Structure 1
Amino acid sequence: MATDPVCGMQVDERTAAGSRVFEGNHYYFCSTACQQKFEAHPSAHVAASPPAGDTAHPGPAHHDAQTPRESPGQDGGAAGAAGAALPGTRYTCPMHPEIVREAPGDCPICGMALVPMAGTGGGAADDSEWRALTGRLWVSAALSLPLVVLAMSPMIGLPELFGLLPQERGWIEFMLGTPVVLWAGGPILRKFWFSLVHRALNMYTLIGLGVGLAYLFSLAAVFFPGLFPLEFRAHDGAVGTYFEAAAVIVTLVNLGDFLQLRAMGQTGQAIQKLLQLAPNQAWRLGDDGSEEQVPLESIAVGHRLRVKPGEKVPVDGTVLEGASRVDESMITGEPMPVAKAAGDKVTGATVNGHGSLVIRAERVGADTLLARIVHLVGEAQRTRAPIQKLADVIAASFVQVVVGIALVTALVWGFLGPEPKFAYAFLNAVAVLIIACPCAVGLATPISMTVAMGQGARAGLLFRNAEAIERTCDIDTVVVDKTGTLTLGHPALTDFVAEGLPEPEALALVAGVEQLSEHPIGLAIVAGAKARGLTPGSADAFEAVSGLGVQADSAGQRVLVGSRHFLAQHGIDTQPWEARAEVWRLEAKTVVFFAVKGVAAGLAAVADPIKDSTREAIATLKDSGVRLVMLTGDSRSTADAVARQLGIDEAIAEVLPEDKAGHVKRLQAEGRKVAMAGDGINDAPALAQADVGIAMGTGTDVAMESAGVTLVKGDLRGIARAAVLSRATMRNIRQNLAFAFGYNALGIPVAAGVLYPAFGLLLSPIFAGAAMALSSVSVVTNALRLNRVQL
């Protein structure tokens, strides 16, 4: 992957929109627009951006041509949003999460300060930058207050009280307003300048225009009042100054940044809390049984670790000794502690109960489940949902349209407005520039997605990307694979009959063939034979046919084990055994036939217990109007029996692994929005075909890679929780978009003065600045309501 030197996005060299060789280095671009910007000023981008292959993450781009002190706290940034900017922290843009930086700065697209990415960084907190932002806010507020009072003094008779002449008042306003605009507003003006230089128009283009015009106009009014024609002068001949408007706008923008970044810090709290779950140290056992407390970083795969009562499990592993109950709620969302004994798996960051455990470390560092969850959520938070496309289309030309509206406003008031018409034209045009807020439009979707993904992670729901959340909202059909999804996935041998040879001998023979298989049913038969004190026989010339059965040579005879169709393919008649098989099927058992020397010789019945949570999950999904469809390789009788037990709407029996995706496609052809839940490798094609693939966290990595949603607990109730979270998230996003579009649709005309002819009302740039600052804060605050969704 390469880094676009203009916008900082990661670009696949094979699919890049364009490339360019400059000074011997290759650069790749995400779009032709970025390539054109690069070709216009290549040196401005090259100095701060590495060529292809230099970094795995988007590095600093053109906007980082700034001093090291321009960090989040000083640039209206976000060091304090998360409480600290930590060594090793990476930074992202809340509005454009695909932008990632190794150092703080501003987003090259929208100009917003980058915030620390959830799940990155470590070390001691450093809030110096946050204090700098707070300092600028307090200074600008302290200077703006007397400035506003002074500017309003003619309306309340204060000039006579202080004996100030208009020219003297202008000088005092200049001295109070200049530090606010040039120092406290310095980061805003720098972002404005960068947006012009690099033709990346954004929110700070509008703010910078408004503040800059108000300040420069006032500067000219104080130092060169004779330059202004009568149309700019009040009835007493004085030229008005707008230092107070420029200063208050800067103060309000800083206040908006302050409030917004504090709220933004809460969006990543879910992931930060997950990270804090991991212990810092662990008890490592030596070969002589001695215990040593060591840092977590020193633990390696294979180390034996002691987990004492009440302590956190340090890494993922397997219990070697002891028995206890472990609280896994922080990872899976399941409130009840889970019993653990020798041979059971344990997960890092879970809490041990009253027993003492000795575990073998199997996954450490970035390979632990906790680390993988944090990584997956971090990656997902950087993706964009389809619903964002509308906002992107509007934001692409938003600034140009607003500037055009401001120019039209100035012209209309300049020609048709009351005296002083040019002063009215100037003020209303500035108000239009200030009140418009593309930031609220851009934040509406990604901020809600970020909060939702963190909330989901705490409940054991991992969304691969933002699109998965949006698609889950529309699901009306859930297809589930029976084994491992509805059931525990640990079938057990319940019945066995044979004819022509003793049952123990027949079971040992069948187990000898099945021990070469990895199928759960085969493993159940082997375990059942061993539980009965039998030793599986030896076998060779093994052959497996996916979804049908296995065969091998054992004790000098060919043995086939599988479905009736498998035996029928080899010309073996199973009819004598069908009556017994049907009885077991009606008991929801899976029936396996076996044949010896070409003759059907008996049956085995295997039952896979239904998960305790399955009935509750199915009832919840059906109550929400979702149709349940079960896929199984079992016979029709067994499938119908399970469906009756669980209240499933439709059962599709005798399904081969390769046919699962076809059944999903058929349902989609009927107009249904389909979610597929599965846990095995053979479920991967169906998971990929479905509108939303849902992998059980207890299943295979292949299934999890193919799915849009992973249920960490492997509990079907997670599907209902995912649907609840998805619906709440999409509702929240629609609220944000409605507010953002409604705010701009109403605010811009009001600022332009459409209410003046009927009501005599005009909007001061000061009030426009207040509305603009609060609009983004309102969007973020609304998104944070998702943290209260009950899952």
Structure 2
Amino acid sequence: MTTATHPHLAGVATIDRRDLAITGMTCASCVANVESALRGVSGVKSADVNLATERATVELDPTRADFPALVRAVERAGYGALALSADQKERAVVEDRERAARRAQLVSLRRRLVVAAVLASLTMIVSMADLLIGGLADAPWRAYLGFALATPVQLWAAAPFYVNAWGAARHRQTNMNTLIVVGTTAAYGISVVATFLPQVFANAGLDPHQYLYYETAAAIVALVLVGRYLEARARAHTSDAIRGLLALGAKSARVRRPGGTEEDVPIDELQVGDVIIVRPGETIATDGLVIAGDSAVDESMLTGESVPVEKSAGDDVAGGTINASGTLRFRATRVGADTALAQIVRLVEEAQGSKAPIQRLVDRVASVFVPIVFVVAAAAAIAWWIYGPEPHFAYAVTAFIAVLIIACPCALGLATPTAIMVGTGRGATRGILIKSAQALEMAQKIDVVAFDKTGTLTVGRPEVVDWVTCADIGEDEALRLIASAELRSEHPLAAAVVEHARAKGLELTEPTMFEAIAGSGVHAVVEGRDIWVGNAALARAHGFAGLGDGMLSHHQAEGRTTLVATIDGQPGAVLAAADVPKAAAADAIQEIRALGARTLLISGDTRRTVEAIAKTLGIDEVRAEVWPEAKAQMVAELQQRGHRVAMVGDGVNDAPALARADLGIAIGSGTDVAIAAAEIVLVGGDPRGVPRALRLARRTVATIRQNLFWAFFYNV
């Protein structure tokens, strides 16, 4: 349940969102009936029902409507409803009941299907006995045997159709079951009359044996049950695939208590702040911050990336991922429904339950489809009765039954949501979280993809990209002394130098004297050596005059930041640092262009830096030195020129543009504000997720269109 109020208006009614699990729906007409019932409850503002997920999402005024009222309305319409609480424990209980009911439904459907299939097959053989053995056309036992075989199918195997159709009829509604019941009952009923009251037909000069339709009624029931069983099994498998993500989580956690003792604690009893021990091969119990230990963590189930990620003190870990090597001690930062994995599952479920604009159109068509089918069936029967050949009655009945059965709109109701379920589920397994069906439908229309730079296409922190030693003490020794001088600095460039030295395996020494010079650099003494590290002006004032100018100019032209160092008053080294592109960024840009979309880089960084990155990656167009508000305005300008724009970003400054774009795509490693403003989230931060999401959307929408074409083609 979520709650929303207008931030500027006092006294405005609070709007709550409630979720229901709906049972008993079989077609798009059922969706329309349930939505109509829910919208008829006083206080309900909107109601959306999804056939594939069997979920209803209702927005209501909690002072005028509540769960019991919603459940009663659904039950009065002839369907079942279970309230899904916001409390995770209560929700889990309801969902367990729902899964148990779904399994029981599958078992029941399978039994009915087997019986119907066997008896329908035997009924077909009996109906064709005269073709197999001559002289049996008028044998009276054929009618009695057909009745004996078809009756269990009609009265037991088809019983759920009757129950559902009767529930709809009581509320003056129709659905797919209405068509099936009327059609098969007409076929079965006229056959019963021909079997036990043959004089009715004989008195009219008709042959009663020509009005035996037992095989038709039984075959229709069997075929519909095949479809129902396959649909129910597909829905169960798709839902279980997403819920299975949660099952990958740990069932308990090893918690270290303040006294130093350790105990195993059930996962639902963990508290924020608990210190948890996880050993190699174990599943990390919940989200947290590493406070001790080093390890590699397999995050593939969360991000889709197969390479384990190195973790050490200060790094975040996510619940459900697997600790691959060393022992880690971490402090829980999020538990239960607040963990990343639980939020991912919730996002996917909401996306699967949402409706694409094309599905809303389908639902409106399907809601009036059944009454239209009855009208067409009646018209066909009348036409055959008046204009058809002899026997008129037989042809009229056959036409009436055929139209009712063939025109069932079941495929219309599942064509879109089933494809959306598969698309969003497949995206989730690849680290692409799609928040809504609207995002899928919009993604396939995108023709311009605009990127933020820092953290989106680049690693988001400076790295040393070039290094020239001017001292005569050797490259590694010079780097070791300069990095040691930077140990106490908190500047990102200092961190880049230290990381570069450690990556080369150098042992650093704490400086005995350290001074940070604001806006310029640092001064330190390391192992008795006097070291200055900073911008060119600082270094030249302490022994670097006239050296390295060519290298400085080259790197500045490339948009890189330079550091100059002196050691004991002599030139030490020139370093160049830059926020380098992610390893996969160039591939992502090439893949997007191959899809026919233009690429645009929008950044608040200097033009020189932005143009250098764009040139390296092959981006079509650049906008530099742009404020957050201007990013959103640039997106709006592209839209005014007729483009469908996707914006890809990771920071607070990207949120306005993400919200303004036709499609917002957030890097999962970014800020909560950016992720909230986006319709698609790339969990692993890999920019190749952008073209993957676009391709997935195109395939999903293409599947929807194919499904709808065949559904309409079949019905028409």
TM range (shorter): 0.7 to 0.9
1:445 maps onto 2:421 in alignment? no
What's the CA shift for 1:335?
Answer: 1.4
Query: In structure 1, what is the equivalent of residue 611 of structure 2?
Result: 640
Kept in 1: contact 2:190–2:211 (CA 8 A): no
Residues 388 and 445, structure 1, Cα contact 8 Å, conserved in 2? yes
Paired residue type of 1:177: A
Q: Does 1:200 align with 2:173?
A: yes
Superposed CA deviations along residues 110-158 of structure 1, whole A, max 9, x for unmatched, are xxxxxx5xxxxxxx89844432222222223333333332233233337
Change in 2 beyond 3 A, CA 1:646/1:142: closer
Of 151, 156, 166, 2:132 maps to: 156
What secondary structure does 2:71 align onto? Answer: coil
Deviation of residue 658 (structure 1)?
Answer: 1.5
Contact 1:315–1:347 (8 Å) recurs in 2 = yes
Of 136, 160, 164, which aligns to 2:112? Answer: 136
Residue 422 (structure 1) aligned with residue 398 (structure 2): no
Residue type at the aligned position of 1:392: D
Deviation at 1:51, TM superposition (A): 8.8
**Contact persistence 1:3–1:57 (CA under 8 A):** no
Counterpart of 2:427, as a letter, is G
Quote how far apart the aligned CAs of 1:207 are.
0.9
1:334-376 Cα offsets, whole Å, 9 max, x none, are 1111111111111111111121111111111111111000000
8 Å contact 2:285–2:319 — kept in the other structure? yes
Measured at CA, do residues 232 and 713 of structure 1 come closer, stay the same or move farther in structure 2, by a change above 3 Å? Answer: farther
Deviation at residue 398 of structure 1 after TM alignment: 1.6
Partner Cα separation in structure 1 for residue 243 and residue 710 of structure 2: 29
| Aligned positions of 1:182-201 closer than 5 A | 182-201=155-174
Query: What amino acid is aligned across from residue 311 of structure 1 in structure 2?
Result: E
Match of 1:88 in 2: 93
Q: What percent identity do the matched residue pairs reach?
A: 42
Aligned to 1:625, what secondary structure does the other structure show? coil
Whether 1:146 and 2:122 are equivalent positions in the alignment is: yes
Which residue of the partner structure matches residue 752 of structure 1? none
Alignment-derived partner of residue 28 in structure 1:
44
- C-alpha distance after superposition, 1:505-562 (max 9, x if no partner): xxxxxx9xxx9xxxxxx963796899987566999xxxxxxxxxxxxxxxxxxxxxxx
Structure 1 gaps of 5+ residues are 21-25, 32-49, 72-85, 91-101, 105-115, 117-123, 496-510, 516-521, 540-577, 593-603, 746-791
Deviation at 1:159, TM superposition (A): 6.7
For the Cα contact (< 8 Å) 1:377–1:457, is it kept in 2?
yes
Q: 1:258 to 1:645 in 2, by over 3 A?
A: same
Matched position secondary structure for 1:259: helix
**Superposition pairs for residues 213-224 of structure 1, below 5 Å?**
213-224=186-197
The CA distance in 1 between the partners of 2:92 and 2:286, in whole Å, is: 24
Q: Which residue of 2 aligns with 1:507?
A: none
Find 1:174's aligned residue among 135, 147, 154: 147
Cα distance, 1:225 vs structure 2? 3.4
Larger mean CA deviation between 264-273 and 670-679 belongs to 264-273
Provide closer, same or farther for how the CA distance between residues 4 and 483 of structure 1 changes in structure 2, counting only shifts above 3 A. closer
CA contact (8 A) 2:639 2:645 kept: yes
Measured at CA, do residues 699 and 523 of structure 1 come closer, stay the same or move farther in structure 2, by a change above 3 Å? Answer: farther
- 1:213-265 Cα offsets, whole Å, 9 max, x none, are 1122223333433444766822xx65622223222222222222112222333
Residues 1:279 and 1:148: Cα distance change in structure 2 (over 3 Å): same
Whole-angstrom distance in 1 between the partners of 2:92 and 2:379:
49
SS for the counterpart of 1:483 is coil
Task: Specify whether residues 232 and 302 from structure 1 end up closer, same or farther in structure 2 by C-alpha distance, changes over 3 A only.
Answer: farther
Instruction: Report whether the alignment pairs 1:472 with 2:462.
Output: no
The letter for the 1-side match of 2:150 is: G
- Which letter maps to 1:691? D
Q: Distance in 2 between matches of 1:692 and 1:420?
A: 62
Q: Which residue of 2 aligns with 1:255?
A: 226
Write the mapping of 1:480-519 to structure 2, written as runs, cut at 5 A.
480-491=451-462
Report the Cα distance in structure 1 between the residues aligned to 2:345 and 2:217, rounded to whole angstroms: 43
The alpha-carbon distance between structure 1 residues 209 and 660, as it changes in their structure 2 partners (threshold 3 A), is same
Residue number in structure 1 paired with 2:66: 54
Match of 2:587 in 1: 616
TM-score (norm 2): 0.75
Aligned 8 A contact 1:2 1:10 in 2: no
* Aligned residues: CA RMSD: 3.7
The 3 A distance-change label for structure 1 pair 491 and 673 is: same
With 527-536 and 477-486 compared, the bigger mean Cα shift is at: 527-536
Partner of 1:524: 492
Instruction: State how far apart, in whole Å, the 1-side matches of 2:666 and 2:114 are.
Output: 51
**What is aligned with 2:690?**
719
What letter matches 1:196 in structure 2?
A: A
Q: Deviations over 1:745-781 (max 9, x none)?
A: 2xxxxxxxxxxxxxxxxxxxxxxxxxxxxxxxxxxxx
Query: Which amino acid in structure 2 is aligned with residue 130 of structure 1?
Result: L
Structure 1 window deviating more from structure 2 (433-442 vs 244-253): it is 244-253
Residues 2 and 28 in structure 1, CA contact (< 8 A), matched pair in contact too: no
Distance 2:77 2:372 in 1: 28
Instruction: Provide the rounded CA distance (Å) in 2 between the counterparts of 1:731 and 1:479.
Output: 24
Instruction: Note if contact 1:153-1:159 (Cα within 8 Å) is conserved in structure 2.
Output: no
Aligned length: 595
Write the distance in 2 (CA, Å) between the matches of 1:590 and 1:10. Answer: 63
Counterparts of 1:698-737 in structure 2 under 5 Å?
A: 698-737=669-708
Shift of 1:285: 1.5
| Structure 1 range deviating more: 446-455 or 385-394 | 385-394
Matched, 1:376 2:381: no
